[in-house]
Amino acid sequence: MKYLLPPLMVLLSFYSTADEKHAPISVETIVKTTQSWNGNTLPAYPKGQPEITILKIAIAPGVTLPRHQHPVINAGVLLKGELLVTTKKGKKLKMTAGDPITEVIDTWHYGVNTGTDTAEIMVFYAGIENQPITIKQ
């Protein structure tokens, strides 16, 4: 059986040049990891029908999110503003615009917008259909 390159790979192959900074398409890996931000190994994916959820969350200046945990793997990028994420055990992650996060799983934590502008974060959840992606304490 003959395999064809996916169309994007064919397209990208036409644009690989010696002068990469002027290429019309660029690909940058932001995060590739097997661990959450606190160093814990990510769990195996649960069985069931996969369900992807993408949320864009806006947090006003000075607002503290309720303490919560995620039973599914999720990752995001802080699009603008500042955010301080703290686990129940006191581990902290300070984020500024552009920073990625691979969230902690089954770990109580909360976030605080420590800046003067609204913080916006885009988060991608790899869950299972009909299962929660966030549990509030």
Q: What is the pLDDT of residue 2?
A: 42
User: Could you tell me which residues come within 8 angstroms of residue 20 by beta carbon, excluding any fewer than 6 positions away?
Assistant: 26
Residue 84 has pLDDT above 50, yes or no: yes
State the pLDDT confidence band at 100, using cuts at 50, 70 and 90.
Answer: very high
- Residue 15 pLDDT > 70: no
Lowest pLDDT segment from 7-21, 43-57, 109-123: 7-21
Q: What is the mean pLDDT of residues 46-55?
A: 96
